[in-house]
Structure 1
Amino acid sequence: MAKTCAVAALIATIFCFSSLLNLAQATSETFFVEGKVYCDTCRVQFETKISQPLADSKVRLECRKREGGELTYSFDGATNSTGTYRLPVDGDHEEEICEVVALKSSRADCSDLKAGYERARITLTNKNGLASIARYPNPLGFMIKEALPNCLEILAEMGLIPLDL
């Protein structure tokens, strides 16, 4: 009987310590924000099949307090040769508003940003049902000065009627 109680106490102790280890691991969670930056060759503010990836473009991840907007986390990064970036984030930012911001295009001929489309909001918490540590914001796009001539054809293939091309 004494051995049974000792074994039960040992098992209970192991469960308690394992839960504490999981709690410690959850609070030191590291996320990775993975996204891409492209050149909008049709000036339509979304990707088309003729959009081009922008290598070496600059992006920034910013997290701000909901109340007052004080900056709590910032990390700068750049895109690779395929126009994708991967930014590490330490800790849980459940109570903050986090966004990836396009800072600078690597191409002078594709550097226009439309207000409101230069950033993508992202959730950085492990308390929302997402099991992966990777988070994927919407793509960020810079626009060329004038749409390419074949954009009307591309948009027609997509079933879209251009309003100002």
Structure 2
Amino acid sequence: MAKTLSTVVALIATAALCFSTLVGVAQAAEEKLVVDGKVYCDTCRVKFETSLSEAVEGAGVKLICRDRESQETKLEMEAETDESGHYKFDVEGDHAEEICEVHLVKSPREDCNEIDKGWNSARILLTTDVGVVDSIRHANPLGFMKKEALDRCAEVLQSLGFLPIN
């Protein structure tokens, strides 16, 4: 009987240790979120990606979180895109009471550096309190406008159904 009791106590202690470890891992995961996204050159000047869009390496982007009420900046981070036009922010803490957006800052390309003020940011939720289990938050792609649209754009837009076929 004593041996059975000690075995039960040992099993309960082991289960409690495992549970507390899982809770610790879950809490650590909740405290850190990753924001990733892409910056492209809008070669057709249509404000969305097409098959002619090009990744922009070395583009500057900024993550800004502001308090919903006071509009005070609570978080500000900058990143630069890699060769495939992707960027990443590692964000600590929960920002449920803030409005967070990724903004275009600068393009290294002289031929593709125009920022359309109406399309220069992507809003993103940075909280674990929205039912999303994954710690990665994917921002919508952001694009710099090429100075002049490529000649092949009409063909691509026709294939997408945006222009009538002649």
Q: TM-score, normalised by structure 2?
A: 0.85
Tell me how far 1:161 sits from its aligned partner.
Answer: 2.5
- The equivalent residue for 1:41 is 43
The residue aligned with 2:24 is: 21
Spell out, residue by residue over 1:114-150, the C-alpha distance to the aligned partner (whole angstroms, 9 max, x if none): 1121000001111112111111010000001111111
Larger displacement relative to structure 2 (15-24 or 83-92): 15-24
Measure the CA separation in 1 of the matches of 2:78 and 2:153.
33
Change (3 A) 1:16 1:48: closer
CA RMSD of aligned residues (A): 2.4
2:61–2:79 Cα contact (<8 Å) kept: yes
The one-letter amino acid paired with 2:135 is I
- How many percent identity over aligned positions? 43
Aligned with residue 93 of structure 2, among 91, 94, 105? 91
- Between the aligned partners of 1:23 and 1:150, the Cα distance in structure 2 is 50
Q: Deviations over 1:46-94 (max 9, x none)?
A: 0000000000000011111000110001110000001111111111111
The count of corresponding residues between Structure 1 and Structure 2 is 161
* More helix, by proportion: 2
Cα separation, partners in 2 of 1:25 and 1:42, compared to 1, 3 Å: same
User: Which runs of 5 or more residues in structure 2 are unaligned?
Assistant: none
User: 1 CA distance for matches of 2:107 and 2:93?
Assistant: 29
AA matched with 1:140: L
Task: State the distance in 2 between where 1:115 and 1:35 align.
Answer: 19
Q: Which runs of 4+ in 1 moved over 2 A?
A: 1-4, 6-27
Query: Does residue 30 of the first structure (1) align with residue 35 of the second (2)?
Result: no
Q: TM-score, normalised by structure 1?
A: 0.85
Between the aligned partners of 1:145 and 1:41, the Cα distance in structure 2 is 8
